[in-house]
């Protein structure tokens, strides 16, 4: 009886593709989070009438799970008021808020896939 020897080699079989995919996911997450932070800070810089710098200095991005990054204002007490969702925004007319976080969320939803696609191009060689 004769046998057939089959040899598997290449990135898919030696783990290079899996490592490249993990690196891609981390890089895409970080790039999108960086875009979110920059976008929010740019909106604040353009909109805030009397900036002190404190609120902007509290904006940060942190890893909350292996696949999730969160950009936030470190729970600054007047953050909801600046956004326009605080309890002091509603009962009386006057200051509606800047809506910087909602606008940033919409921008990330719109631009996130494009950012991820650009990051993918850098990681494709490692997957081949």
pLDDT per residue over 84-109, tens digit each? 988 888 766 778 899 999 999 999 99
User: pTM, whole model, 2 decimals?
Assistant: 0.86
The domain locations on the chain are 11-127
- Percent of the chain, pLDDT > 70? 95
End-to-end CA distance of the chain: give it in Å, rounded.
36
* Alpha-carbon dihedral 82, 110, 59, 119, rounded to 10 degrees: -170
Q: Which residues of the chain have pLDDT under 70?
A: 1, 8, 91-92
The answer to whether 110 and 36 have CB atoms below 8 angstroms apart is no
CA distance 33 to 64: 12
Strands (E), 14-67: 60-65
Quote the pLDDT of residue 26: 95
């Amino acid at each position: 009886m004769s046998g057939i020897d089959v040899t598997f080699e290449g990135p898919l079989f030696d783990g290079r593709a899996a490592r490249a995919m993990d690196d891609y996911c981390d890089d895409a997450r970080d790039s999108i989070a960086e875009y979110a932070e920059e976008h929010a800070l740019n909106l604040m810089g353009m909109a805030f009438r009397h900036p002190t710098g404190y609120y902007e200095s509290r904006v940060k991005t942190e890893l909350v799970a292996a696949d999730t990054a969160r950009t936030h204002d470190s729970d600054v007490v007047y953050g909801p008021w600046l956004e326009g969702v605080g309890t002091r925004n509603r009962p009386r007319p006057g200051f509606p808020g800047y809506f910087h976080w909602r606008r940033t969320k919409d921008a990330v939803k719109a631009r996130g896939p494009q950012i991820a696609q650009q990051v993918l191009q850098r990681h494709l060689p490692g997957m081949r």
